[in-house]
Chain A
Amino acid sequence: MRPLDYLSTAAAAMLANPIRTCLTMLGIIIGVGSMVSMAAIGAGAQAQVQEQIRSFGANVLMINAAVRNQGGIRTAGNIRRPLTIEDSRAIAELPSVRAAAASVAGPAQAVHGGRNWGTVINGTTRDHFAIRGWQLASGRLFEPGEEAGGGKVAVVGSLVARRLFGDEDPLGRVIRILNTPFEVIGVLKEKGSAAGQNQDDVIFVPLLTAMIRLIGSANAVNRDAIAFIMASSKSDDSMTAAIDDITSLMRQRHGLTGNDENDFTITTAASILAAQEASTRTVAILLGAIAAVSLVVGGISIMNIMLVSVSERTREIGLRLAIGARPRDVRKQFLLEAAVLCVVGGVIGVLLGGLTAIGVAKFVGWRVLLEPQVAAVAVVFAGCVGIFFGYYPARQAARLEPVMALRTD
């Protein structure tokens, strides 16, 4: 028997009972579909994280005050200290650090003419722009005089510029934030979104201006408290040194000794990546388990239906043997039927899984990424499931005695 003849025989058998064929494939369709859609969602999430990291900057560090331990026992000597402008200045002096900029941030309404836009106000120093890789589309950044004197000037993100000014040129215009007039001196280039947040939805003002007029300090007790410090290392290679230097500097400045816990955290792209990788791995194992279970269930249902099919088609098998089919021809026929069932089910599963992923992307707003290799692996794997679970029924078919098979009614 020629290879193509096996295939057309298998196809004919499948088409002979289309409804049963579809039901048989259901398990495989669901298995492969969930595998593919989950993989697409997982890959999308990962791509998003990578983009986030890219936008964070490879040699950027963010220093935050540690969140207070809930229910942890804390003695008087351990009262958490906020970060201050002085901390930021000291960090900037470190040899491994190129620059550091303190920030306070908070939500606020900005008004220009009849337009009104709720956005984030970020009070910071001009170094912040260099550290985060912000570039000007037009205008200029804060001048030292404006920084020291609490100047009422603003550098706006591209989204804010669009919302408040439309097609007008924002430069030199005045916007009101919490009833304080600010002159727009610069517009930033578009940066896109990261972690589901539009980064261009922001207004930068000088740090002191923000602390005095808009947001206040980050801490009710300490008037110098700021929210976070962004810093950059001298180079990508000096990241470890920068982390070590900042850690020991901060411990020293905050009077921490011996086993005292750090009262601050340092976040880098690498640490985001590590955290994300750990959770991605957990998710991948979970999804793998779901896919494996549904494929095994699908495989068992294939085996079940194939066994039914073998006993139903005993007369057909008997006839084929009588007119010259070798046992191995019969075995191959049934094996191929199982494999074709699974491969076709796998292809349908890939299509449905892809559609599901796209649907999820549309309605939930997640990013999805359907990789062709994943689809190929899923289909090949489904075929293997078919061969594995089809083997036993196929062997049963090939073992039938021609006389007995012909006698069956």
Chain B
Amino acid sequence: MLLEARRISKQYRSDSTAVTALHPTSLRIDNGEFVAILGPSGSGKSTLMSILGLLDRPSSGEFFIDGRDSATLSDDQAAGLRNRLIGFVFQSYHLLPRQSILHNVELPLLYSGVGRAERRERATQALTAVKLPHRIDHLPSQLSGGEQQRAAIARAIVTKPAIILADEPTGALDSATGWEILQLLIALNRVGRTIVLVTHDVDIAHQASRIISIRDGTIVSDQSAAAARAAAAAAETMEQCDAAA
């Protein structure tokens, strides 16, 4: 299995107060899954995703990625794993504003020590895969939000990582554009990538094959999308019955 969390928790400490963003939580994500992490704002979705993506370390508990205990990883090793194993997609794209789209997409390869010519070739391929092959010399600001997010996805897949962690990738986009981005992630899942999609939008979460619901730092449900749909339908029926009564 790819990701395994055993009773991980996260506290943020400021001078006097300590905020618990994540209560002890266990979960496993296998190769090839498409998991949505669903929850309202402030529920701890991003916190969980940061730990899954080795951007942060849990305050307690154990986290294994690709069979390796994250506690034993040095900063440099964690950087190497992020580079090879994980692709990140953020709500605000996080493209470098003063560099071309092509250069932005090449960036992860820079840190894997790939040479110039190969970088260019692979970045072009990735941009073709996200259907953005024609605007590679533009600056991010010259692109629409949807196009910028496509570029960010190209950057996430350019190292051919096993996992893509997407934190609210459609959050800044209108629903039609958001839908296109979602189709892109679904397509990536079809060719074997593991996708972890963080969202507060139930409709989007239902495109995944598995939905983990989180509230106030605790997982409240973890079920297949089909089961989740059934549960939602049942809840709706109940409401209608109540209303009728």
- Binary per-residue interface labels of chain A (1-19) against chain B in the complex, 1 for a CB within 8 Å, 0 otherwise: 1100100010010001000
**With A316-B96, A319-B96, A403-B55 as given contacts, are A326 and B110 in contact (CB-CB < 8 Å)?**
no
* B229 adjacent to chain A (CB < 8 Å): no
* A406 adjacent to chain B (CB < 8 Å): yes
Q: Which of A16, A318, A326, A401 is in CB contact (< 8 Å) with B76?
A: A326
B110, closest chain A residue (CB): A5
In terms of DSSP, what is the predominant structure of the interface of chain A?
helix
A327 in contact with B96 (CB, 8 Å): no
- B-side contacts of A403, CB under 8 Å: 50, 55-56
B49, closest chain A residue (CB): A403
> Would you give the shortest CB distance from A404 to chain B, in whole angstroms?
9
Cα A293 to Cα B222 in complex, Å, equals 66
B115 in contact with A323 (CB, 8 Å): no
> Would you give the shortest CB distance from A109 to chain B, in whole angstroms?
73
A12 in contact with B55 (CB, 8 Å): no
- Binary per-residue interface labels of chain B (72-83) against chain A in the complex, 1 for a CB within 8 Å, 0 otherwise: 000110011011
B82 in contact with A322 (CB, 8 Å): yes
Q: Which of B43-92 contact A (CB under 8 A)?
A: 50, 53, 55-56, 75-76, 79-80, 82-84, 88, 90
B111 in contact with A322 (CB, 8 Å): no
- Binary per-residue interface labels of chain A (353-365) against chain B in the complex, 1 for a CB within 8 Å, 0 otherwise: 0000000000000
* A72 adjacent to chain B (CB < 8 Å): no
A406 in contact with B80 (CB, 8 Å): no
Cα A2 to Cα B106 in complex, Å, equals 14
* B142 adjacent to chain A (CB < 8 Å): no
Cα A14 to Cα B142 in complex, Å, equals 21
Q: Which of B53, B84, B96, B111 is in CB contact (< 8 Å) with A325?
A: B111
Cα A323 to Cα B111 in complex, Å, equals 8
* A315 adjacent to chain B (CB < 8 Å): yes
* B94 adjacent to chain A (CB < 8 Å): yes
> Would you give the shortest CB distance from A67 to chain B, in whole angstroms?
70
- Binary per-residue interface labels of chain A (297-331) against chain B in the complex, 1 for a CB within 8 Å, 0 otherwise: 00000000000000000011011111111111100
Cα A364 to Cα B113 in complex, Å, equals 56
B80 in contact with A326 (CB, 8 Å): yes
* B107 adjacent to chain A (CB < 8 Å): yes
B55 in contact with A327 (CB, 8 Å): no
B93, closest chain A residue (CB): A319
Cα A227 to Cα B99 in complex, Å, equals 78
B90 in contact with A406 (CB, 8 Å): yes
> Would you give the shortest CB distance from A106 to chain B, in whole angstroms?
74
Cα A1 to Cα B83 in complex, Å, equals 12
**With A1-B110, A2-B113, A322-B88 as given contacts, are A315 and B79 in contact (CB-CB < 8 Å)?**
no
A326 in contact with B75 (CB, 8 Å): yes
* B98 adjacent to chain A (CB < 8 Å): yes
Q: Which of B56, B99, B112 is in CB contact (< 8 Å) with A324?
A: B112
* B150 adjacent to chain A (CB < 8 Å): no
* B108 adjacent to chain A (CB < 8 Å): yes
Q: Give the A-binding residues of B (Cβ under 8 A).
A: 50, 53, 55-56, 75-76, 79-80, 82-84, 88, 90, 94, 96, 98-99, 103, 107-108, 110-113, 115, 155, 159
10 A-B pairs within 8 Å (CB atoms) are namely A1-B110, A319-B96, A321-B79, A322-B94, A323-B83, A323-B88, A324-B108, A326-B79, A327-B76, A403-B55
